Structure 1
Amino acid sequence: MGQHGEKARETLLDAAEELFARYGIDAVSNRRIAEHAGTANHSAVAYHFGGRDELMEALITRHLEDTHRRRAALTEQLDDDGAALHDLLACLILPWVDHLASLPVPSWRARFLHQMRAVPSMKALLNRTAVASPVTEDLIRRTAAAVGDIPTSVLHGRSWILGSMTIGVCSEYESRIHDGAETPNWTGVGYFLIDSCAGMLSAPVTHPGDFITQPSPVFLL
């Protein structure tokens, strides 16, 4: 794809991310995205992406390389054995919030992903892309081992809660920055989330059960 085509594609992705973040996934048509991107070609999304599903996948994965690079760099600093739970969670969470901090204001990334979580058909794609690297998969395995006395079914349920909490907190914080209600301190948000996740994952189990049996790693995006 030529330089002009790549720029047009990025402009469409920017427009789609903003509109989806503002109004929700199902409320925004491909035509509206094209118009918001400033193109008179109402078939621009189909031309550049092939269809709606391909557009959504491109939006979800567009920044993952940066997050994976940041995560790999942090992970290299861990001890090979016996890394503390907080350190493992830092490798999972800080690259995500550091990426959010690197985006221009206003950014729409966290709010877009928050909207994505509300669409059942998108959850499988989110989960798949969230762990789409060997480094992330290894960190998840090591994190589970660090709280090995917690039943797997309970860890699955807690990861579901943490997914909602992490993206929800980042979405709200991103919105408050946009509105001028917060001075950006994404690093502080990251460590707040690390402490919160560590506390929940390692909390005592008073009533074990298989209430939620599928893991939900989307807070790792």
Structure 2
Amino acid sequence: MGQHSDKARETLLDAAEELFALHGIDAVSNRRITEHAGTANHSAIAYHFGDRDELLRALLSRHRGEMGKRRLDLIATLPDDAGVRDILACMILPWIEYLASRPMPSWHARFLFQVRSVPSVAEVLESSLTANPEVEALIHRMQAALDHVPPEVVRGRALILGPMVLGVCASYEGQIQNGERIPNWRGVGYFFIDSCSGMLTAPVTHPEDFITFPEGPYLL
């Protein structure tokens, strides 16, 4: 793909992420995306991505390589007996650092918040989170470190934490854009690590009285 085509593709991704973040996934048409991107070619989405699902997959996988590299660097420093907090740092910090690196205004957290709230794109989100051996390995290490907590409780807590973390990040991203917050994503990341660690390791007072959840993404 040529340089011009690459730039056109990135412009479409930028436009789509912003519109999806502000208006929701199902409320934004391909035509609206192309117009927001400044192109008169209303078939540009089909040309560059094929269909809406492939556009969403491209957005979800965007810059995953740099996040994956950072995660590998963190994993390399983990001791064999790493605790929950250190494992969480490997899962959370690469994403938080990516949000911190985005140019202003950024839309990524709000885009992901919209994605998670729309059943029609749930399958796209699920497929974007699979086949990641580093994350899978971290999840197994997390489960081993939480062997004192019933697996069903661990999963239920993780499925609560995911939307919570994403919702806070989406709100924080909007507050930064509106001038209501001075950006401190690093502080946000460590707040999440401490908070999630506390919830995951909390004692279980009623082992047979927990909420069950359908399958879903682990944390983020």
Residue of structure 1 in register with 2:120 after alignment: 121
Task: Output the aligned Cα RMSD.
Answer: 1.4
What one-letter code is carried by the residue in structure 1 that aligns with 2:69?
Answer: R
Q: Cα deviations across residues 106-155 of structure 1 (Å, max 9, x unaligned)? A: 00000000000111132233233235421111111101111111111111
Give how far 1:213 is off. 4.1
SS of the counterpart of 1:28?
coil
What one-letter code is carried by the residue in structure 2 that aligns with 1:37?
Answer: A
Structure 2's unaligned 5+ residue stretches are none
Residue of structure 1 in register with 2:167 after alignment: 168
Q: Which moved more, 1:133-142 or 1:100-109?
A: 133-142
Report the CA distance shift for 1:211/1:124 in structure 2 as closer, same or farther (over 3 A).
Answer: farther
Give how far 1:61 is off. 0.7
Structure 1's unaligned 5+ residue stretches are none
d(CA) in 2 for partners of 1:219, 1:201: 11
Q: How does 1:17-96 map to 2 (within 5 A)?
A: 17-79=17-79, 81-96=80-95
Q: Does 1:219 align with 2:219?
A: yes
What one-letter code is carried by the residue in structure 2 that aligns with 1:166?
Answer: V
d(CA) in 2 for partners of 1:51, 1:131: 21
What one-letter code is carried by the residue in structure 2 that aligns with 1:111?
Answer: R
Q: Cα deviations across residues 175-205 of structure 1 (Å, max 9, x unaligned)? A: 1110111111100000000011101111111
With normalisation by structure 1, the TM-score equals: 0.94
d(CA) in 2 for partners of 1:135, 1:211: 28
Residue of structure 2 in register with 1:16 after alignment: 16
d(CA) in 1 for partners of 2:165, 2:156: 14
Residue of structure 2 in register with 1:3 after alignment: 3
Identity of aligned residues (%): 59
d(CA) in 2 for partners of 1:127, 1:69: 21
Give how far 1:49 is off. 0.6
Checking the alignment, whether the CA contact within 8 Å between 1:94 and 1:190 is kept in structure 2 is yes
SS of the counterpart of 1:219?
coil
Q: Cα deviations across residues 66-89 of structure 1 (Å, max 9, x unaligned)? A: 11111011110111x210111110
With normalisation by structure 2, the TM-score equals: 0.95
Give how far 1:54 is off. 0.7
SS of the counterpart of 1:41?
coil
Q: How does 1:90-109 map to 2 (within 5 A)?
A: 90-109=89-108
Checking the alignment, whether the CA contact within 8 Å between 1:130 and 1:218 is kept in structure 2 is no
What one-letter code is carried by the residue in structure 2 that aligns with 1:123?
Answer: A
d(CA) in 1 for partners of 2:128, 2:88: 18
SS of the counterpart of 2:174?
helix
d(CA) in 1 for partners of 2:202, 2:123: 28
d(CA) in 2 for partners of 1:76, 1:163: 24
Report the CA distance shift for 1:214/1:156 in structure 2 as closer, same or farther (over 3 A).
Answer: farther
SS of the counterpart of 1:204?
coil
d(CA) in 2 for partners of 1:166, 1:216: 15
Residue of structure 2 in register with 1:205 after alignment: 204
